[in-house]
């Protein structure tokens, strides 16, 4: 079973790619609905081959289980140019989601067609197992929340944010 998102967000593709590599930025995508607490020292930035177990809690209080985040990445292309793909092929370890035997989460980042200052973000979660039909509606709802958070947070991911109107350009 699949859950798909396709968004155009207000930051460039490099800023979105950097955010995907930040454990802190990724955790913010679920907050405050779902908290993601590392169970080991998190990397400063995700790299291909990175693995990190995390504890998930609903509203920061109700334990939802542990999940292993396992990162890989690749570059491909489509009709509009290069596409960078960030993949979490980890697996839920405990809690309700551990009844799934397939968990494949891929996020594809590329410049938005016709507007390289914005990003086309494609997000695909594939789940499988006997409980997938029961868990799909819950995960679909979580992914809608995630989409709203991505849209809200994307402007904050800019490496060099523009100065507010009327502010000195040299910072002083």
Question: Of 155 and 34, which is predicted with more confidence?
Answer: 155
Lowest average pLDDT, out of 59-73, 111-125, 152-166, goes to 152-166
Question: Of 168 and 41, which is predicted with more confidence?
Answer: 41
Tokens of 37: 């607490």
Residue pLDDT, tens place only, 59-99: 888 999 999 999 999 999 988 889 999 999 999 999 999 99
Residue pLDDT, tens place only, 1-60: 999 999 999 999 999 999 999 988 988 988 888 888 999 998 889 899 999 999 999 888
Residue 66 placed within a domain: yes
Total domain count, the chain = 1
Q: What are phi and psi of 72, to 5 degrees?
A: -140, 165
Residue 131 placed within a domain: yes
Residue 84 placed within a domain: yes
Residue 136 placed within a domain: yes
Residue 161 placed within a domain: no
Integer CA distances (angstroms), 106 to 6, 87, 123, 148, 172, in order: 12, 4, 6, 18, 42
Residue 165 placed within a domain: no
Residue 27 placed within a domain: yes
Question: Of 165 and 37, which is predicted with more confidence?
Answer: 37
The pTM score is: 0.86
Question: Of 159 and 20, which is predicted with more confidence?
Answer: 20
12 CB neighbour count, 10 Å cutoff: 21
Cα four-point dihedral sign 56, 4, 139, 135: negative
139 CB neighbour count, 10 Å cutoff: 18
The CATH number of the domain where 111 resides is what?
3.30.530.20
Residue 135 placed within a domain: yes
Domain that holds residue 85: 2-156
At residue 170, the pLDDT reads: 47
- Is residue 131 very low, low, confident or very high in pLDDT (cuts 50, 70, 90)? very high
- What is the Cα–Cα distance from 98 to 112, expressed in whole angstroms? 35
At residue 162, the pLDDT reads: 52
């Amino acid at each position: 079973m699949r859950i798909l998102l396709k968004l155009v967000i207000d930051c460039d593709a490099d800023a979105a790619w950097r955010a995907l590599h930040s454990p802190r930025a990724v955790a913010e995508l679920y907050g405050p609905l779902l908290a993601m607490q590392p169970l080991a020292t998190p990397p400063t930035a995700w790299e291909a081959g990175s693995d990190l177990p995390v504890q998930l809690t609903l509203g920061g209080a109700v334990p939802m289980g542990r999940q292993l985040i396992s990162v890989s990445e690749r570059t491909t292309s489509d009709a509009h140019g290069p596409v960078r793909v960030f993949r979490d092929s980890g697996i839920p370890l405990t809690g309700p989601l551990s009844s799934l035997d397939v968990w494949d989460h891929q996020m594809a980042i590329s410049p938005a067609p016709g507007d390289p200052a914005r990003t086309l973000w494609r997000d695909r979660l594939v789940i499988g197992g006997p409980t997938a039909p029961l868990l799909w509606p819950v995960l679909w709802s979580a992914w809608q929340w995630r989409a709203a958070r991505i849209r809200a947070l994307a402007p904050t991911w800019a490496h060099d944010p523009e100065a507010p109107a009327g502010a000195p350009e040299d910072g002083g």
